[in-house]
Structure 1
Amino acid sequence: MDSSRKTVLLTGASGFVGGAILHDLISRDLFNIRVATRQHGTVPGAPFESILFSRLDAGQCWAKALEGVDLVVHSAARVHIMNEQAVDSMAEYRKINVDGTLNLATQAAKRGVKRFVFISSIKVNGEGTQLDAPYTAESVEAPVDNYGVSKLEAEVGLLKLAATTSMQVVIIRPVLVYGPGVKANFLSMMRVLDKGVPLPFGCINNKRSLVSLDNLVDFIYCCLNHPAAANQVFLVSDGEDLSTSELLRRLARSLGKRAILLPVPERFIRLIASLCGKGKFADRLCGSLQVDITKNRNLLGWVPPVKVDDALIKTAKHFQGASVR
């Protein structure tokens, strides 16, 4: 390790977002990088150091991982699960997302870590907004599900820790993240559009904020370095909100296809979805969820560097390349 450089500890590097953070940090070549992993030890020749850990809860000792560390990016979490199977899901979320986070942060503060960047979630704010009434970083938190509650509880604990120690905390709440390798509903949309299947969303005029991987990791890097980010909460997006119909059209264009969107009234979509037990899915397709990133611009001078269409093209190309393989 280069003793003249700051050392960053990254958790969650095997995940969709964490992997992108690791790639971004490597490409910048500005830090010593240490990755906390449960999968393998140090890889010979890798541009980062791997430290094995056994569990992400209150019982984990982070002494070895935190040795000489200046900055922590904590992206590991028990993520939102659509079809929850745990008997007590709140307890499971708290064990990882609250107790595990605060255990790591407390040990980091004791070892002199200067800044702790926590990747939270927009679900801390809630599940949706009125049209053109976006969440801001100052909006009252109103999580609906256990995942969102656990992230808020972690945030509260981290800010209390920042108030009583010298370690700075930065909280980042991303909206829906997309990019190469995206899964879940975004991947399903690409598959359907790629096949040219007609979709009943031609009349959906909502607005939703999204954030590409490239814009998210660029903002995380900004928050690692900018003095004004200390002990702040930020929402992050691409800075351009899209309706579901507009997203489908632009994503189809990125795939080299034409979206076939049927003009089905929103109330019928919601009715059918409700009858099929998919009411929450219809809420995401038809409802609005917008965030205002003015604070990011004013306080940090940060503007999303990647345009939405460029990010969609990058995502689509990766999807098509994976499909060929």
Structure 2
Amino acid sequence: MLRKVLVTGASGFVGSRVVEYLLLDQRFDVQAALRNLQAHVPEGATAVRIAPLEGDHCDMDLQGVDTVVHCAARVHVMNEQSADPLAAFRKVNVEGTLALARQAAADGVRRFIFISSIKVNGEGTDGRQPYSADEAPLPQDPYGISKLEAEQALHALAAQTTMEVVVIRPVLVYGPGVKANFQSMMKWLHKGVPLPLGGIRNQRSMVALDNLVDLIRVCIDHPSAAGEVFLASDGEDLSTPDLLRRTARALQVKARLLPVPASWLTTAARIIGRPAMAARLCGSLQVDIGKTRRLLDWTPPVSVDQALGTTARHYLDLERSNA
């Protein structure tokens, strides 16, 4: 008998790939929860409508669903427009998540997998050891705070019901179709733009999209996942210059990196009011996935260079189609 798995955020970058990946496992009846039923879903998945999760009410019927994979969220935004960002994040990421989880528990859902964020741990690991899954969290922005509050509410709900909760905190996720800064980086490299980033000496963890969705698949079944928090990464950390060089190689171009000192970049970013940008480019953010490996007997199935290759090919295909 097929087990129903409902994926929220099923039209998004992560959620859509979760749907595709789970369809490869013939044990699952994959339900793609969408706000717009006109959105594309892969053949074999069932599209189900979900109202915006922006408060304490959820009208979904989750009877018969075995597992919910909750990818939908109000995501971290670079240019926040809300007058009260924390309230806006809480409305979706805390209240909406908890409303869905309460409905899931009431309808007998066995396991609720919550895609959180490494921002729950903090903003960087300069001068310290990599983040671990069970250390005290220290979120520093409204998005990270809202994700932590959602985690805490879910664990409290699990303690009061029979539903199991699993939390996954990914670092930066990249893969085919990635947007934002990673897409811009590929564009600059492909165009041969000289980048003043050759003098940076940092280390950052990332996670390939296919590694993240493979971990999600493992968490659907694994008995040791229940009640736990896991960090997700590729298991190989890169400096910013190394990432640029390896991405350029995947794009079949040469990275043009200028050895500008990181201190100059940090100062310039402060002057133009973009200190967070400098932190992402120059600072370190590393995670230790030892717990994830140990409890789940999980190893990231895709290497960094394999993942950069598929990401670059997708980007180049789009560039050729738009030419």
Q: Identify the TM-score tier after normalising by the shorter chain.
A: over 0.9
In the TM superposition, what is the alpha-carbon distance from 1:45 to its structure 2 partner?
9.3
Which of 19, 22, 26 does residue 22 from structure 1 map onto? Answer: 19
Q: Quote the residue 2:191 is aligned against.
A: 195
2:100 aligned partner, one-letter code: L
Report the counterpart of residue 113 of structure 1 in structure 2. Answer: 109
Aligned residues: 321
1:250 aligns with 2:249: no
Matched residue of 1:8: which SS?
strand
**Structure 1 residues 279 and 63: alpha-carbon distance in aligned structure 2, compared to 1, 3 A threshold:** closer
- 1:28 deviates by 2.1
Corresponding position of 1:143: 139
Quick one: which amino acid aligns to residue 27 of structure 2? L
> TM-score of the superposition, structure 2-length normalised?
0.96
| TM superposition score normalised by structure 1 | 0.96
1:298 is matched with which residue: 261, 279, 294?
294
2:268 matched to which residue of 1?
272
Unaligned runs of 5+ in 2: none
Name the counterpart of 1:223.
219
**Greater CA deviation, 224-233 or 54-63?**
54-63
The alpha-carbon deviation at position 41 of structure 1 amounts to 6.5
State the 1:44 CA deviation.
Answer: 10
Specify whether residues 273 and 313 from structure 1 end up closer, same or farther in structure 2 by C-alpha distance, changes over 3 A only.
same
1:42 and 1:258 map into 2 onto residues whose CA distance is: 38
Task: State the partner residue of 1:96.
Answer: 92
Identify the match of residue 317 of structure 1 among 289, 313, 316: 313
Residues 116-144 of structure 1 show CA distances to partners (whole Å, capped at 9, x for unaligned) of: 00000000011100256100001211111
SS at match of 2:137: coil
- Give the SS at the match of 2:24: helix
List aligned pairs for 1:169-180, cutoff 5 A: 169-180=165-176
Q: Deviations over 1:135-176 (max 9, x none)?
A: 000121111110100000000000011111110000000000
1:57-113 Cα offsets, whole Å, 9 max, x none, are: 23543442x121010000000000110101222111111100000011011111111
Distance between the aligned counterparts of 1:45 and 1:317, measured in 2? 21
Question: Structure 1 residues 135-144 or 42-51, which shifts more?
Answer: 42-51
What is the aligned-residue identity percentage?
55
Q: Does 1:37 align with 2:34?
A: yes
Could you report, residue by residue, the CA deviation over 1:233-290 in whole angstroms, capped at 9, with x for unpaired residues?
0000000000000000000000001111111111111111111111110000000000
CA RMSD in angstroms comes to: 1.5
Alignment of 1:119-158 (within 5 A): 119-130=115-126, 133-158=129-154
User: Within 2, Cα distance between the matches of 1:88 and 1:132?
Assistant: 32
The aligned amino acid for 2:99 is: N
In the alignment, the residues of structure 2 paired with residue 101 and residue 209 of structure 1 have an alpha-carbon distance, to the nearest angstrom, of 27
Does residue 9 (structure 1) correspond to residue 6 (structure 2)? The answer is: yes
CA contact (8 A) 2:68 2:113 kept: yes
**Counterpart in 2 of 1:287?**
283
For residue 234 of structure 2, what is the aligned residue in structure 1? 238
